[in-house]
Amino acid sequence: MKVRFITPYYGVKGQPLLTLPCLAAEFEPYCDVELCDQNVEEIDYSDADLVGISLLVYNAPLGYEIARRFRERGIPVVMGGSWPTVSPDLVAPYCDSVVVGEVEGLGERIISDLRQGQLRARYQNPCPPSLDQLRLPRVDLLKSERYFQLTGYPMELTRGCPNRCSFCVSKDIQPTFRKKPYWMIIRDLEARDSPILSLYDLNIGANKRYFKDVARIFAEFPIAAWQCETCIGYLDDIELLKLLERSRLNQVYVGIESITEAGLASVNKSFNPRHRYGEIIRKCHDHGIHIAAGFIVGLDGEDKSVFERSLEFFEEVKVEYTTPMYVTYLPGTPMHTKLKREGRIVTDNLEDYDGTHPIVRPSGMTLDELQEGVEWFVKEFYGLRSTLVRGLQRPNRRPKDLMGYYAFNRWFARMYKDVFTPNSDGVRPVDDREAFAAITQRRVDKRFHGFGVAESLVNVWNKVDRRLRPLQRLYQQVALPGTSMTKRHRVPAR
């Protein structure tokens, strides 16, 4: 029996996710598994006994069309992911079965029902599955040569998040915080095929003791660099930062979301230590760690001055990059229902729910002021002046780190220019989605190629790095006296 799992295009080419490898690990004991990531390959529409499609909200229409083509030929389709979990009743008409929540523990039952011709309309675990028995994700089944190598080997050590930010649906998908046992971390590390790691945990720092132990384990392995995501408040710990530096952590993505008290309160994130943002980020930089910041726009309690103030703040603390996103609540969630009743939801088109289109009419400015503010912020933040200002930070003390920083920022600059700003005819995404999408896709494909060139340049630098060590030390002595360029790459004894 053959099962094909598909991830429809979600707009980020070249970045491997763990969704497909985890699905393969769950189902491979019971059937033959094929993986298809439309972000790097064409959809395989050949025959299969079952097709599984993983959906976000904004790629759901594309997933529905893919499902239609299979179902027309009598091939059953099961859908899962964040969108089917949040709104299973809205997804059900487009497939034969819906998986709500996490899939681990359901694979055997689904295949057994399929063999008997009795596929159920809905599958759901009675409680979140333990991570103690998770099989090794089949990352080896992905077409790794088609992904950016600098994104690294994908890993997941924890699931869930104890926080309940109103815009986040993690509480619906992964309702409890759980962590893998230490032996499983070592197993996953030994299976990797890259010296670079990307952790896809929602909030690995939620258990600080575990986070520190992970850093200690990573320090014992030949890892060149790794990155993760957590809350900024958890990083206010010198012992933790020293361990992370030893483990060669090079970047943390933190949800800054807003620099205002009102903005944080509007999304139930007042626990963010906004008065200590700058101090915590400085400590991270002192330990060689880049900070990437999540930034939500259109929050209640904020006016159009927030864009200029946020730009000033991000430049002052020198974040590596930021991801400005419109505040978005998914259909079917309580906040979306409330705002819909108030007449503040401006679109019901699922394709617009990707964070790059305004969904909620803001309370402190007009919709035009919101869009113009985002366009201005992106242009200024990813402009050459700001990029140069933010690049002067300790994590960029080595030439190849500085090269990587500028390559990423130039790529982000071009990507956000295409996403947020009108085209030459003045068309905005929210005004004419189809026309803008056609133009944008051509640009993104071109930028995708450009990023590949930048990545190749960084890889070339890595190859000649050893021969240029004397030059690097000279650069370090001139640019950042008193620092050690090689210290982070020794593995000290525990």
Could you report the per-residue pLDDT of 278-289, keeping only the tens digit for each? Answer: 999 999 999 999
Alpha-carbon span 81 to 77, nearest angstrom:
14
Query: If we measure between CA atoms, which residue out of 5, 44, 42 comes closest to residue 22?
Result: 5
Beta strands at 50-54 and 290-297: parallel, antiparallel or unpaired:
unpaired
Q: Is residue 139 situated within a structural domain?
A: no
Q: Is residue 64 part of a domain?
A: yes
Q: Which residue has the higher pLDDT, 251 or 469?
A: 251
Is the pLDDT at 473 greater than 90? The verdict is no
Question: Could you tell me if 68 and 171 lie in one domain?
Answer: no
In angstroms, the CA 153 to CA 159 distance is 18
pLDDT score of 47: 97
Q: Which long-range contacts (CB under 8 A, 24 or more apart) does 267-274 make?
A: 267/165, 267/166, 267/167, 267/296, 267/299, 267/327, 268/164, 268/165, 268/166, 269/163, 269/165, 271/163, 271/231, 271/233, 272/231, 272/232, 272/233, 273/232, 273/233, 273/236
Q: How far apart are CA 258 and CA 264, in angstroms?
A: 6
DSSP H or E stretch at residue 226? strand 225-230
Does residue 402 lie within any of the structural domains? yes
- Rounded to an integer, what distance in angstroms lies between the CA atom of residue 482 and that of residue 44? 56
Can you say how many angstroms the Cα of residue 146 is from the centroid of all Cα atoms in its chain? Answer: 18
In a domain, 22, yes or no: yes
Do 241 and 488 contact (CB within 8 A), yes or no? no
Q: What is the model's pLDDT at position 449?
A: 45
pLDDT of residue 14: 74
At 346, which CATH number? 3.80.30.20
Residues 113 and 232 in one domain: no
Pair 119, 152 in one domain: no
Task: Provide the H-helix boundaries in 99-234.
Answer: 107-115, 170-173, 182-191, 208-219
Return the biggest CA–CA distance within the chain: 72
- Paired strand residues for 26: none
Helix H or strand E segment including 408: helix 399-420
Both 84 and 163 in a single domain?
A: no
pTM: 0.85
Q: Residues 76, 152: one domain?
A: no
Are residues 413 and 371 part of one domain?
A: yes
Same-domain check for residues 295 and 387:
yes
Residues contacting residue 189 through CB under 8 Å, at least 6 positions apart: 155, 217, 218, 221, 223
Asked if 381 and 462 count as a contact pair (C-beta separation under 8 A), the reply is: no
H runs (alpha helix) in 160-207: 170-173, 182-191
What was the pLDDT predicted at 492?
32
Residue 454 predicted with pLDDT over 60: no
Domain span holding position 56: 2-124
Residues of the chain with pLDDT > 70, as a percent, come to 84
Helix, strand, or coil here: 355? coil
Shared domain for 120 and 189, answered yes or no, is no
Q: Which of 15-29, 97-111, 239-253, 460-474 has the lowest mean pLDDT?
A: 460-474
Rg (CA), the chain: 23
The answer on 261 and 350 residing in a single domain is yes
67 belongs to a structural domain: yes
For the chain, the average pLDDT equals 86
Average pLDDT estimate for 424-445: 47
Q: Domain boundary residue among 67, 91, 124?
A: 124
Q: Where are the beta strands (DSSP E) in 312-458?
A: 321-326
Residue 368, domain member (yes or no) = yes
Query: How many distinct structural domains can be found in the chain?
Result: 2
CATH number of the domain enclosing 78:
3.40.50.2300
Bridge-based pairing state of the strands 196-199 and 153-155: parallel
Q: Is residue 333 part of a domain?
A: yes
